[in-house]
């Protein structure tokens, strides 16, 4: 737990000298400085300079003292006001650069219907079917929403403890919604492909009447009287919320206050995170689809580990109102499903402005499942496919190269593509760190960060404390470089609609999270140990439909998404 500023400013001189001695900042030297104007001294400034990579002269430090102590007083005043996590800064990130043209024409939404599908004798055989199949069975009244909901609830109760993927079952709400869906469909009021489909939400989404724990012990009993916009929109689509699923504490990893969420393909592995429960439950056939979130890999990574199809939408495509904030300029919400087209169905229901999240905007999402690779200009990240990998990663390299062969076999003319390589992309991670530190400042200052399960170097408590040492100037500079990176990547999209890249090779994941570009991720094979791998398709800003279309074309040419983890097959 970091020392709070008021721990210093409220001390008398004797106590303050003892404090300085304890932290090794030279109390005796400070004691002799007649021009001392507050708790901060020239010696302390010199030590701080070393931490921040700066160097000033003694005269410059002397001039800075009054302002530094005045700033300290301002910090203390700011900290007297509690700021809920839901309050965003009066600064907005917009991935759309000046002069960029976005789609304006909205076409009729169409999707693939599983014509001729019939109800199985054992209803549990439907557990792994995609929404496109489940929706047709519901639309044709062969299966009721109530039946599906009870089947998935039973599977959650049976397998949830094994996978440690469930925080709260929303059974009462779910059965009420399912009965309503059945009544509406019976009288001919069919709302569309998600009507009556059971789903699970990452437990950073608020739902009235239920806890929203953020996967973290300090918030285990938290109940927020609101619905996230995505929850309301899925309610409007007629979908049935059956569970609030696990996430790594405060959206990091797969370790939460109740355990570690498991990979259905290998229970010795965590499911990765932070959309840990969303990926695990979807892969194990415990929900029809799920909603997760990503700031830096939290959809792509667990989707890869658990072998599901997923979409990290364009930043601003989906409102984050009612979702826990980690980084206001990087957070995104998106679907994790059993097929690419399911992702399109879910995005169609949840996208668009809501008047609550100021970054969310209305841009048409024109899904066309019939688009073929030859109709779009497709790039491939040449350096990443050619890059040599360690011996234990050779199976993923071979799988990645096979993706290119499949695309060429489907008629794609692949264009070599490169990312900006002259910018310090990794250094820009301080943007996330600084914003996360602000989002959970109260947790750090109160000392309740000690309640989080992960306490090591890479855990949030240490990261949040470190965030307090990032200078505001460097945060702004990182964001200015971010603008340069946005321009550089946009220029490389001139001539292509989508590019394909290995999901974790190089800087693609970090760069595209910083720039806000959409990524569709799908399984592209299995390792020798039986666990899944993935490939990513990155689209232009608001080019989610094109990224999904190429991902679907690839997926239709393979069967990796149809395989099931044996332990969870009915």
Q: Under DSSP, is residue 378 helix (H, G, I), strand (E, B) or coil?
A: strand
Sign for the pseudo-dihedral over CA of 211, 216, 221, 225: negative
- The tokens for 253 are 């990893």
What phi and psi values does residue 308 have, to the nearest 5 degrees? Answer: -115, 165
Q: What pLDDT does residue 6 have?
A: 43
Residues 195 and 109: their CA atoms lie apart, in Å, by 15
pLDDT at 520 over 50: yes
pLDDT at 175 over 90: yes
Closest to 527 (Cα-Cα) out of 392, 415, 408, 427: 392
Residues 207 and 226: their CA atoms lie apart, in Å, by 6
E strand spans, 433-506:
498-502
User: What band does 135 get if pLDDT is binned at 50, 70 and 90?
Assistant: very high
Average pLDDT over residues 513-523: 98
What phi and psi values does residue 343 have, to the nearest 5 degrees? Answer: -60, -40
pLDDT at 9 over 90: no
Q: What is the DSSP letter of 98?
A: T
Q: 255-256 and 259-260 as β-strands: parallel, antiparallel, unpaired?
A: antiparallel
- Over residues 360-407, the pLDDT tens digits come to 999 999 999 999 999 999 999 999 999 887 876 788 999 999 999 999
Average pLDDT over residues 282-307: 98
- The tokens for 453 are 């399960």
Q: What pLDDT does residue 23 have?
A: 42
Q: What pLDDT does residue 392 have?
A: 67
- The tokens for 208 are 């009235």
Closest to 534 (Cα-Cα) out of 508, 504, 509: 504
Give me the numbers of helices (H) and strands (E) for the chain, helices first please: 20, 15
Q: What pLDDT does residue 96 have?
A: 97
Q: How far is CA 106 from the centre of its chain?
A: 27
Sign for the pseudo-dihedral over CA of 456, 457, 463, 466: positive
Q: Average the pLDDT over each of 16-25, 242-251, 308-317 and give the range with the smallest value.
A: 16-25
- Over residues 332-351, the pLDDT tens digits come to 999 999 999 999 999 999 99
Do residues 277 and 202 touch, judged by C-beta distance below 8 A?
yes
Do residues 394 and 401 touch, judged by C-beta distance below 8 A?
no
User: What band does 29 get if pLDDT is binned at 50, 70 and 90?
Assistant: very low
Q: Under DSSP, is residue 310 helix (H, G, I), strand (E, B) or coil?
A: strand
CB atoms within 10 A of CB 387: 14
pLDDT at 28 over 50: no
User: What band does 316 get if pLDDT is binned at 50, 70 and 90?
Assistant: very high
Q: Under DSSP, is residue 535 helix (H, G, I), strand (E, B) or coil?
A: strand
pLDDT at 156 over 90: yes
What phi and psi values does residue 255 have, to the nearest 5 degrees? Answer: -95, 120
- Over residues 202-257, the pLDDT tens digits come to 999 999 999 999 999 999 999 999 999 999 999 999 999 999 999 999 999 999 99
Residues 214 and 155: their CA atoms lie apart, in Å, by 23
- The angle that helices 171-186 and 145-163 make with each other, rounded to 10 degrees, is 160
Q: Which residue has the higher pLDDT, 284 or 7?
A: 284
pLDDT at 5 over 50: no
Q: What is the DSSP letter of 164?
A: T
Residues 287 and 450: their CA atoms lie apart, in Å, by 34
Q: What pLDDT does residue 13 have?
A: 42
Q: What is the DSSP letter of 231?
A: H
Q: What pLDDT does residue 203 have?
A: 99
Catalytic residues: 202, 274, 298
Domain boundaries, the chain: 5-79, 123-366+376-422+477-558
What lies within 8 Å, CB to CB, of 284 at 6+ separation is: 155, 159, 163, 165, 264, 565, 568
- The angle that helices 276-283 and 145-163 make with each other, rounded to 10 degrees, is 120
* Rounded percentage of the chain residues whose pLDDT exceeds 70: 93
pLDDT at 196 over 90: yes
Do residues 400 and 535 touch, judged by C-beta distance below 8 A?
yes
May I ask the CATH class of domain 123-366+376-422+477-558? alpha beta
pLDDT at 20 over 60: no
Q: What pLDDT does residue 184 have?
A: 98
- Over residues 454-487, the pLDDT tens digits come to 999 999 999 999 999 999 999 999 999 999 999 9
Q: What pLDDT does residue 37 have?
A: 59
pTM assigned to the model: 0.92
Average pLDDT over residues 313-335: 98
User: What band does 26 get if pLDDT is binned at 50, 70 and 90?
Assistant: very low
Q: Which residue has the higher pLDDT, 129 or 392?
A: 129
Average pLDDT over residues 246-269: 98
Q: What is the mean pLDDT of the chain?
A: 93
What lies within 8 Å, CB to CB, of 422 at 6+ separation is: none
User: What band does 264 get if pLDDT is binned at 50, 70 and 90?
Assistant: very high
């Amino acid at each position: 737990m970091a020392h709070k500023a008021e721990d210093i400013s409220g001390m008398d001189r004797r106590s303050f000298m003892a404090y300085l001695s304890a932290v090794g900042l030279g109390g005796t030297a400070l004691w002799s400085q007649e021009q001392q104007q507050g708790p901060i001294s020239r010696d302390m400034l010199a030590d701080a300079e070393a931490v921040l990579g700066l160097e000033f002269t003694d005269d410059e430090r002397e001039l800075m003292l009054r302002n530094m102590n005045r700033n300290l007083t301002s910090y203390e005043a700011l900290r007297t006001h509690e700021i809920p996590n839901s309050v965003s800064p009066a600064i907005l990130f917009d991935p759309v650069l000046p002069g960029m043209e976005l789609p304006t024409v909205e076409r009729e939404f169409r999707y693939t219907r599983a014509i001729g599908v019939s109800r199985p004798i054992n209803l549990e055989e439907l557990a792994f079917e995609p929404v496109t199949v489940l929706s047709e069975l519901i639309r044709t009244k062969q299966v009721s929403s109530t039946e599906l909901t009870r089947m998935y609830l039973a599977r959650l109760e049976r397998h949830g403890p094994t996978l440690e993927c469930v925080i709260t079952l929303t059974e009462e709400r779910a059965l009420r919604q399912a009965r309503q869906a059945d009544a509406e469909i019976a009288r001919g009021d069919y709302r569309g492909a998600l009507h009556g489909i059971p789903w699970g939400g990452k437990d950073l989404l608020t739902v009235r009447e239920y806890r929203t724990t953020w996967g973290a012990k300090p918030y285990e009993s938290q109940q927020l009287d609101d619905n996230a916009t995505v929850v309301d929109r899925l309610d409007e689509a007629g979908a049935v919320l059956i569970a609030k699923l696990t996430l790594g504490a405060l959206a990091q990893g797969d370790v939460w206050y109740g355990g570690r969420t498991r990979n259905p393909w290998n229970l010795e592995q965590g499911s990765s995170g932070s959309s840990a429960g969303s990926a695990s439950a979807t892969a194990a056939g415990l929900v029809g689809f799920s909603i997760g979130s990503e700031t830096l890999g939290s959809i792509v990574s667990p989707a890869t580990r658990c072998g599901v199809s997923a979409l990290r939408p364009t930043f601003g495509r989906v409102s984050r109102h009612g979702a826990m904030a980690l980084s206001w300029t990087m957070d995104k919400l998106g679907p994790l499903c059993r097929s690419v087209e399911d992702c399109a169905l879910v995005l169609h229901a949840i996208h668009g402005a809501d008047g609550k999240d100021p970054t969310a905007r209305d841009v048409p999402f024109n899904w066309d499942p019939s688009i073929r690779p030859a109709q779009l200009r497709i790039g491939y990240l040449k350096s990443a496919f050619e890059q040599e990998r360690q011996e234990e990663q050779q199976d993923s390299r071979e799988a990645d190269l096979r993706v290119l062969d499949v695309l060429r076999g489907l008629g794609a003319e692949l264009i070599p593509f490169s990312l900006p390589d002259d910018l310090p992309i990794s250094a820009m991670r301080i943007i996330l760190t600084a914003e996360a530190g602000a989002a959970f400042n109260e947790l750090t200052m109160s000392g309740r960060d000690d309640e989080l399960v992960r306490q090591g170097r890479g855990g949030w408590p240490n990261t949040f404390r470190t965030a307090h040492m990032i200078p505001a100037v460097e945060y702004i500079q990182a964001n200015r470089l971010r603008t340069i990176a946005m321009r550089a990547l946009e220029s490389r999209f001139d001539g292509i609609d989508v590019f394909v890249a290995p999901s974790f090779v190089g800087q693609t994941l970090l760069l595209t999270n910083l720039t806000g570009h959409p990524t569709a991720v799908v399984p592209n094979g299995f390792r020798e140990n039986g666990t899944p791998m993935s490939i990513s398709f990155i689209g232009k800003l608001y080019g989610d439909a094109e990224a999904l279309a190429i991902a679907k074309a690839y997926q239709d040419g393979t069967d990796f998404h149809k395989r099931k983890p044996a332990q969870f097959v009915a």
